[in-house]
Amino acid sequence: MQESLFTTIGYAVISLAAITLYGISLNGIVRKIVARVHGRFGPPVWQPFIDIFKNYARRRSVAHGTMFFLGPVFRLAGGVGTYLFIPAILGSAIFSNFSFAGDVLLVMYFIFFGQLGMALGAGESGHPYSPMGVGRGLSQMTAFELPFALSVIAIVIQYNTLSITQIVQAQQGSILNWTLFTNPLAVIAGLFAMLGMNMHSPFDIVIAPQEIPIGPPTEYHSQYLGMLQTNRGLFTAAKLVLFMNLYFGGATNFIELIVKTFFIYMVSVAVGVAFPRFRTEESIRFFLKVPLIIALAAIIFVSL
């Protein structure tokens, strides 16, 4: 049945709103968990929402030029674009978004689109920490892109499709059908790449508190920062949904989605609270050694 344009747009808006709220709450929960690990009470779970409201309600904002203005817009477009082409819940009309036959390639492109846009915007702000953070971010991105792309290629070869929906469908039936069990090497390489992508310690070299506080968004304030914070929630959740779809069998309802993405995110958080930050070159060398070899092994394993 052909749905009307308005229904499609309505579904996309609902889906986007739900995942944004979930992503922002997830950030709040993680802050609480990290605080408990430190032995603190930590901020309330809804703290990110208060911060976002406050930032949007700032009375003044200064622009440094057109690109500066467009930076957060590109970042948010990257987040929205990434999410809108991932089928979040299998078989759901509302949450299958704009998934199509070649979406895995488009999603991989969109994940990096936002960072490139942000790099241009932050560059125009003129603060010395911004290009430093951007340089670190882009070089780290290039490094973790290798194991991630190889891992995705391994999965694409394995399931012989470029559609995320079909990859999820192939994993249905039993827990043993998940990529986690059918191709564990690709999953390990992908999870290593995810650690880099989520920018938690030890890979938080872009934001690098106490070193180049706080990197690219140094000059971003008020509504710009509000947009970046909104995107942080949305983008985190979108990436987790992608990883859930590729490696952990996808989800057939919203509860399953929340449970699975939460535990996938916990991998990043657990590593983050246990390890101190890498230096830039250490981080890049790390990705080019073990994860890359594992990802190559995954492709060989699949093609045999």
Residues that bind another protein (CB under 8 A): 31, 35, 38-44, 47, 50-51, 53-54, 57-62, 209, 213-214, 217-222, 225
Reduced to 3 states (helix: H, G, I; strand: E, B; else coil), residue 98 is coil
- The least CB distance from residue 76 to another protein, in Å, is 18
- The least CB distance from residue 64 to another protein, in Å, is 10
Cα–Cα dist 144/269, whole Å: 18
Residue 211 vs residues 163, 215, 217, 240: alpha-carbon distances, Å: 41, 9, 14, 28
Question: Looking at beta carbons only, is 1 or 62 nearer to another protein?
Answer: 62
- The least CB distance from residue 37 to another protein, in Å, is 10
- The least CB distance from residue 229 to another protein, in Å, is 10
Question: Looking at beta carbons only, is 50 or 93 nearer to another protein?
Answer: 50
Give the residue ranges of DSSP H helices in 39-128. Answer: 47-56, 66-84, 103-125
Token pair for 141: 């991105």
Question: Looking at beta carbons only, is 47 or 92 nearer to another protein?
Answer: 47
- The least CB distance from residue 289 to another protein, in Å, is 32
Contact predicate 73/227, CB 8 Å: yes
Cα–Cα dist 189/268, whole Å: 14
Surface-to-core class of residue 69, CB atoms within 10 Å of its CB (0-12 exposed, 13-18 middle, 19+ buried): middle
Question: Looking at beta carbons only, is 22 or 220 nearer to another protein?
Answer: 220
Contact predicate 264/244, CB 8 Å: yes
Question: Looking at beta carbons only, is 190 or 216 nearer to another protein?
Answer: 216
- The least CB distance from residue 291 to another protein, in Å, is 31
Is the C-alpha dihedral spanning 252, 79, 287, 282 positive or negative? negative
Question: Looking at beta carbons only, is 117 or 216 nearer to another protein?
Answer: 216
